Amino acid sequence: MTIQTSDLHKAYGRHEALRGLTLSVPEGAALALIGANGAGKTTTIKVLMNMLAPSAGMATILGVDSRRLSPREFAQIGYVSENQRMPGRLTVAQYLAHLRPFYATWDQDLERSTLAQLRLPPDRKIRDLSHGMRMKMALACALPFRPKLLVLDEPFSGLDPLVREEFMESLLEQAGAMTVLISTHELADIEDVATHVAFLDDGTLLFQEAMSELTGRVRRVQITLNQEAIKPPQTPASWLQVAALGNVLSFVETRYSQQELDARIATAVSGVRSVDVQLLPLRSIFIAMARNAQRKAG
């Protein structure tokens, strides 16, 4: 595993930001770490990058304890954050020239193609770049040495749609065989790149699985009845957001198979005229899961 955590905790005084996080990111995977603001995503990344020490538990990066990461490991890790600091007095070209000697694997051809693709002006000073251009600059600094692991902490925050599209196009083109960890709540932007997804809520990992498995097991279901719909007093545990409107009963099914769905409907509902089953985008899946977690916590 490129990243592995076991029973990871991080407390700030009485507030526990991470509560027993056990997470694994396979080599070559692109894992989206999703969750609402304050869920613990950035804390997780800071512990992984040894910016914060865990209160308890263990984290390993590239097979090394995160608390013992050395320049050898950092030379294989690209890092992009919405709050990343860069020397504003230097131009884009000057800063890239400053970075090159630190990485034995730096590829200047890749640097030039990345600058061109992201449309970064080499002679402009970093302090004069817009927020979107700064984020693209951070990516341009992280890709040319071909890292084994690329960590993106809320890379899309505050970016307009065109800049987000350019950012993702460059990332997809250059990703190669590297492992990618993306912390984000901009879910529409990562559906085409993420191979795995992990959902954090209040410092707790609710689930982690392959994206194909998640999208395969979650469906929006609308049942049209012969009579006015009434929310059943008891519904299967796999049904979320159950609602009745007119003669339609709707819900999100989280353990979908057609045969099992038919059996659950037959047990819970009568007078069924038709059943419509639809795929759900990642954002809708996240909202359903998050609201269910909030309901249980309340």
CATH of the domain at 58: 3.40.50.300
Within a domain: 286: no
Give domain status of residue 257, yes or no.
yes
Instruction: Tell whether the model's pLDDT for residue 255 goes beyond 90.
Output: yes
Is the same domain home to 90 and 127?
Answer: yes
Distance CA 62, CA 184 (A): 22
* Paired residues of 184 in beta bridges: 34
pLDDT beyond 70 at 298: no
- Structural domain total, the chain: 2
∠ CA 123-127-133, nearest 5°, is 75
pLDDT at 99 over 70: yes
Residues 92 and 235 in one domain: no
Give which of 104, 29, 25 is closest to 72, Cα–Cα: 104
The confidence score (pLDDT) of residue 147 equals 94
- pLDDT at residue 35 above 90? no
Q: Within 10 Å of residue 158's Cβ, how many Cβ atoms?
A: 13
- Give residue-wise pLDDT tens across range 210-249: 999 999 999 999 999 999 999 998 999 999 999 999 999 9
Say yes or no: 260 and 158 in one domain. Answer: no
pLDDT at 276: 98
User: Do 111 and 184 fall within a single domain?
Assistant: yes
Looking at the structure, do residues 145 and 264 belong to the same domain, yes or no? no
Domain that holds residue 64: 3-214
Inter-residue contact 47 to 54 (CB < 8 Å):
yes
Q: Please tell me the number of Cα atoms within 13 Å of 240 on its side-chain side.
A: 22
Whole-structure pTM value:
0.89
Residues 140 and 79 reside in one and the same domain: yes
Q: Are 149 and 117 in contact (CB under 8 A)?
A: no
Residue 260 and residue 192 share a domain: no
Same domain, 9 and 150: yes
> Which DSSP string do the residues of 12-57 spell out, in sequence order?
ETTEEEEEEEEEEE-TT-EEEEE--TTSSHHHHHHHHTTSS--SEE
In a domain, 298, yes or no: no
- Which DSSP symbol is given to 125? B
Residues 56 and 203 in one domain: yes
pLDDT of residue 175: 63
| pLDDT tens digits, one per residue of 137-196 | 999 999 999 999 999 998 887 778 888 788 877 777 766 678 999 998 778 778 878 899
pLDDT at 174: 66
Do 241 and 137 sit in the same domain of this protein?
no
pLDDT score for 176: 63
For residue 51, give the DSSP letter.
S
Residue 149 lies in a domain: yes
